[in-house]
């Protein structure tokens, strides 16, 4: 990864921030996009010695995504890796959620990935680079109380799998990375039924995989040009495996597991 040009969306916190540090340690050049550019500036200072470009980016806006790609090309001249990491979550029953919340999830998670991938693709094809989408186990198994989140992650997986097939003879590497529950602020800013932020995480963050460990696995998967990465054993690999052969059982287990969350919207 030394001197490779890597774009990371949602780089201001969580997995995105950890990815930036991991790539910086490997000598990559970074193009970082996020809405909270003040946090990106802090990260840039922390990673002094790494060539870093910062572009204010709201991935739900097509023009912002186009600008992120154009500024990267203007500054670095090429793109080797695009990691579509920016995303938001939700926690509310579909019966009670306002439709605008679902729309917002799709705009950020799915369309943000589509916009950035569309404008970066010509440059990734030139370098035979890597196109990456960070999804979730929710992109394989429907999570109750998170209809919009699961829908957006399923959609990203289908989108990237198709892009991979379309470009299989052009040398493009496409990775779909699915972390299990990972410690980050994504649950704190998750949207409730009316679109307001949840504020507090309903899960024990200390017992989850760290963002740093997750980032390390993703970078290794990119280096090995893997097509799929499913992290954690029980909540990840085992759940996805069983869902293929015992879907009704996984439905029941998923319901029971998620219902145990404090203030769960269902019981």
Candidates 118, 130, 134; CA nearest to 171 is: 130
pLDDT digits (tens, 9 = 90+) for 18-70: 999 999 999 999 999 999 999 999 999 999 999 999 999 999 999 999 999 99
**What are the angstrom distances between the C-alpha of 54 and each of 16, 45, 59, 148?**
13, 12, 14, 29
147 SS3 class = helix
pLDDT at 187 over 60: no
* Active site annotation includes 111: no
In this prediction, residue 262 carries a pLDDT of 84
% of the chain beyond a pLDDT of 70: 95
Pair of tokens at residue 106? 């799709």
pTM over 0.75: yes
Residues 111, 115, 119, 149: which is the catalytic one? 149
Where do the structural domains in the chain lie, given as residue ranges?
A: 5-259
pLDDT digits (tens, 9 = 90+) for 238-249: 999 999 999 999
Mean pLDDT of the chain: 93
CATH number of 5-259: 3.40.50.720
Rounded to whole angstroms, how far apart are CA atoms 73 and 186? 30
Rounded to whole angstroms, how far apart are CA atoms 57 and 62? 10
In this prediction, residue 204 carries a pLDDT of 61
């Amino acid at each position: 990864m030394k001197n490779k040009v890597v774009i990371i969306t949602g780089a201001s916190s969580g997995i995105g921030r950890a990815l930036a540090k991991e790539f910086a340690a490997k000598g990559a050049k970074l193009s970082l996009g996020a809405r909270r550019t003040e946090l990106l500036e802090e990260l840039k200072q922390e990673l002094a010695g790494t060539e870093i470009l910062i572009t204010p980016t709201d991935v739900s806006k097509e023009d912002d995504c186009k600008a992120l790609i154009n500024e990267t090309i203007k500054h670095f001249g090429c793109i080797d890796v695009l990691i579509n990491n920016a995303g938001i979550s939700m926690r509310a029953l579909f019966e009670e959620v306002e439709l605008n919340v679902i729309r917002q999830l799709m705009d950020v998670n799915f369309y943000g990935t589509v916009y950035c991938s569309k404008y970066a693709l010509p440059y990734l094809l030139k370098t035979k680079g890597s196109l990456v989408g960070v999804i979730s186990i929710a992109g394989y198994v429907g999570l109750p109380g998170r209809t919009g989140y699961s829908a957006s992650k399923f959609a990203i997986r289908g989108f990237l799998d198709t892009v991979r097939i379309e470009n299989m003879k052009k040398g493009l590497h496409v990775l779909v990375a699915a972390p299990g529950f990972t410690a980050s602020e994504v649950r704190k800013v998750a949207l409730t039924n009316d679109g307001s932020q949840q504020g507090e995480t309903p899960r024990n963050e200390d017992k989850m995989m760290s963002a740093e460990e997750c980032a390390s696995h993703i970078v290794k998967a990119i280096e090995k040009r893997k097509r799929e990465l499913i992290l954690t054993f029980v909540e990840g690999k085992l759940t996805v495996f069983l869902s293929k052969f015992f879907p009704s059982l996984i439905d029941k287990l998923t319901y029971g597991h998620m219902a145990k969350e404090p203030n769960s919207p269902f019981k």
